[in-house]
Amino acid sequence: MRPADRVDVLGAREVDARAHDVVQPRAGIAERVFPVGRLDRDTTGLLLLTNDGDLCFRLTHPTWGVDKEYEATVAAPLHEAALAALRQGVQLEDGPTHPCQVLQQDHDAGTLVRLVLHEGRKRQVRRMLAAVGHPVLQLRRTRIGTLRFRDGAPDPATVQLAYDQIDFGRGIDAFLTGMSATSVYAVCRGLEEAGVKPNQGIGITEELLDARSLFLTPNTTTVYVLACLNLKDGPVVLRVPPRVLGPVDDANFRWVVDVGLTGPDKGAGGEYLFVPPGYKRTVPAKGYHVAKPRTNRLLIFYRVFVEKGDLAAAAAGVKAKAAVFPLSQAAKPPATAFVNTSGVKFNTISANDFSFYEELNAIVQNEPADWVDANTVGLYAAIGIRKGQPFAPDARMKKTLTESVAVANAIARSNAFASRDPRTRIFRDRQWVTPFVGGSYQFLAGAERLLDAQVMFFYLATGITPAMSEAKPGTGSAYALAFRDATGNYLDGGRTYKVTLPGPIPAKNFWAFTVYDNQTRSLLPTDQKSAGVDSNLPGIKKNADGGATVWFGPKAPAGNEANWVQTMPGKGYNLILRLYGPLEPWFNQTWQPGDLELQM
């Protein structure tokens, strides 16, 4: 809460102490932060400070329609002409204001006027009220406003405020709860745009992934196979080749079954039969690994092991043995369409604006009514998303949800980039973090659902399987994320850092670094196609102890070009260290990677 006598208008001549000048040194923040909106010297209220310029723009620019709420005390009640003028827009010296919402009520010190704007000019509220003949005596910016009751009964303004607030909050909750589902939806939509049709096609990254395809935190060191199923029309068969590894997840990104080495085929390959929820007909008793998911839409992605760097052979092995087709056509399966998705421009990341709710509605319409628990069904229904009914919010509700999703996105980013849960720290004195708090792929700690860990994972990543969080020495993968350097500052693409992995590095198979764009959470789009380095690359230099030092920066350090990951000036980024086949020193923490050290 910013008190009076602190000015928050960037560039204002009367500034004596801006709130961001006060907050930054006290909080130890090195980079510049922006106030979201403005509060002049005589105005109290809540002010959000952020170092995310895009978020600041979305919350303040009138084109996004995000509400700013103020309470102003004036000496006398406003007459109808003054109220109408404010609601329609008044003429100021810098042009007419946009229409706004205005309510007034009696107050001990005069009349309380509540205004809801979606623009933010200098001293705008004071100038608006002065223009209609009611100078402001006191001004406060607030999210909800003063709540008034007569012997416990809310007055009409309080009722409206309460419902506005609950709609706003439920919009936030729907984003944080539903992002797992919209992520599956977005992957399947993106694959279909790339030519991989549900129940008919399989996508293969035959030449690996690169930044032209937008995926949440993928790697660029292995061949991926992806497919989507939709069981609305009946059971579907998925044929899996030998020696692969990966999960099948449902429409809410819940694990259904693994295929390959950690699945029931144990790496031998085989046919999986996926049966729709509520299916009553008889299914074959033999010949299939049968799974009965809770949802119609399923996402399959598995890794293919590449022998001696031969990507073409790995892709050919998939095409020879993999297939997908409806059970009804099992006697004479149609040919599966294989699509090389390497280098193809398509987006698999769900929306962070109002269209998020439209994605969520499309999911609800495709799934059975009980595809999630009753409380979650009720949450989505409370904002107008109900199965069998159109999603048609009125103007007020659409504006509320537009603001909800902007704030929810800020919450998800803050939770991912600056987790307040100390359990996300992998090592007590290092910057490396993980969302797998407690080692549970269901984000459980006993009876407790770790909500922030769950949100962190699904905002940054795709795919869930017990194998990701329950790896044993020599199997699976280990992941460590870094958003900050050794001093705690966010990574800056215009600066150079180095990190040392002490030897011997505890990876049975290999290790890899990959860098990701902070905005998209997908691969950082540099001239370096792989967006990273790994221990299988020819020419990578090892240290005397068998470890390695890797450099991150816009230019390759002389003599260390093979150990360099390219970054971009003006772009923030984060990175993931992956250990494939992590060994015991990783689990007992007798081995720890260094932090990223800024090079001056």
Closest CA to 473 of 585, 588, 590, 582: 582
471-599 is classed CATH 3.40.190.10: no
Q: Distance from first CA to last CA of the chain, Å, rounded?
A: 37
Catalytic residue among 8, 40, 210, 249: 40
Closest CA to 218 of 300, 299, 297, 303: 303
Largest Cα–Cα distance in the chain? 83
Extract the tokens encoding 412: 């998800």
How far is 112 from 105, CA to CA, in rounded Å?
Answer: 5
Considering the segment(s) 19-149 as one domain, its CATH architecture is: 2-Layer Sandwich (3.30)
**pLDDT at residue 54 in the model:** 64
Written as one string, the DSSP assignment of 337-395 is EEEE-TT--EE----SSTHHHHHHHHHHHHS-TTSS-HHHHHHHHHTT--TTS-----H
Query: Do 336 and 200 meet the contact criterion of CB atoms below 8 Å apart?
Result: yes
* Burial of 233 per CB tally in 10 Å (0-12, 13-18, 19+): exposed
Extract the tokens encoding 70: 């103020």
**Residue 597 φ/ψ, nearest 5 degrees:** -105, 125
Rg for the chain, CA atoms, rounded: 27
Provide the whole-model pTM. Answer: 0.79
- Residue 200 identity (one-letter amino acid): Q
How far is 8 from 17, CA to CA, in rounded Å?
Answer: 8
Delimiting residues of CATH 3.30.2350.10 domain(s) in the chain: 19-149
Kindly give the pairing relationship between strand 201-204 and strand 337-340: parallel
Classified by CATH at the fold level, domain 192-347 comes out as Immunoglobulin-like (2.60.40)
**pLDDT at residue 31 in the model:** 64
**pLDDT at residue 196 in the model:** 98
**Cα-to-chain-centroid distance, residue 406:** 12
Kindly give the pairing relationship between strand 68-74 and strand 43-45: unpaired
**pLDDT at residue 433 in the model:** 96
Written as one string, the DSSP assignment of 386-401 is -TTS-----HHHHHHH
**Residue 512 φ/ψ, nearest 5 degrees:** -155, 145
Query: Do 20 and 9 meet the contact criterion of CB atoms below 8 Å apart?
Result: no
How far is 309 from 307, CA to CA, in rounded Å?
Answer: 5
**pLDDT at residue 145 in the model:** 66
DSSP label of 310? -
Query: Do 351 and 218 meet the contact criterion of CB atoms below 8 Å apart?
Result: no
Delimiting residues of CATH 2.60.40.1610 domain(s) in the chain: 192-347
Q: How many CB atoms lie within 10 A of CB 168?
A: 20
What region, left, alpha or beta, does residue 45 occupy, with left being phi > 0 and alpha being psi -120 to 50 degrees? left
Only one residue has tokens 């709609």, namely 167
Q: List the Cα angle 535/540/543 in 5-degree steps.
A: 95
How do the pLDDT tens digits run along the chain, 600 residues long? 444 544 443 433 333 345 455 555 555 556 666 676 556 555 555 566 777 666 666 555 555 556 788 889 999 999 999 999 999 999 999 999 998 889 887 766 678 898 988 787 888 999 999 999 999 999 988 766 677 899 999 999 889 889 999 999 999 999 999 999 999 999 999 999 999 999 999 999 999 999 899 999 898 988 999 999 999 999 999 999 999 999 999 999 999 999 999 999 999 999 999 999 999 999 998 999 999 999 999 999 999 988 888 999 999 999 999 999 999 999 999 999 999 999 999 999 999 999 999 999 999 999 999 999 999 999 999 999 999 999 999 999 999 999 899 989 999 999 999 999 999 999 999 999 998 887 789 999 899 999 999 999 999 999 999 887 777 898 878 899 999 999 999 999 999 999 999 999 999 999 999 999 999 999 999 999 889 999 999 899 999 999 999 999 999 999 999 999 999 999 999 999 999 889 999 999 999 999 999 997
Query: Do 222 and 303 meet the contact criterion of CB atoms below 8 Å apart?
Result: yes
How far is 65 from 50, CA to CA, in rounded Å?
Answer: 19
Delimiting residues of CATH 2.60.120.600 domain(s) in the chain: 471-599
Catalytic residue at 527? no
**pLDDT at residue 15 in the model:** 34
The SS3 of residue 151 is coil
Number of H helices, E strands in the chain: 12, 33
Closest CA to 69 of 100, 97, 48, 95: 100
How far is 449 from 70, CA to CA, in rounded Å?
Answer: 37
**Cα–Cα separations (whole angstroms), residue 546 to 185, 197, 506, 540:** 43, 46, 11, 12
Extract the tokens encoding 409: 């996105």
Extract the tokens encoding 497: 């850092």
**pLDDT at residue 13 in the model:** 35
Query: Do 36 and 60 meet the contact criterion of CB atoms below 8 Å apart?
Result: yes
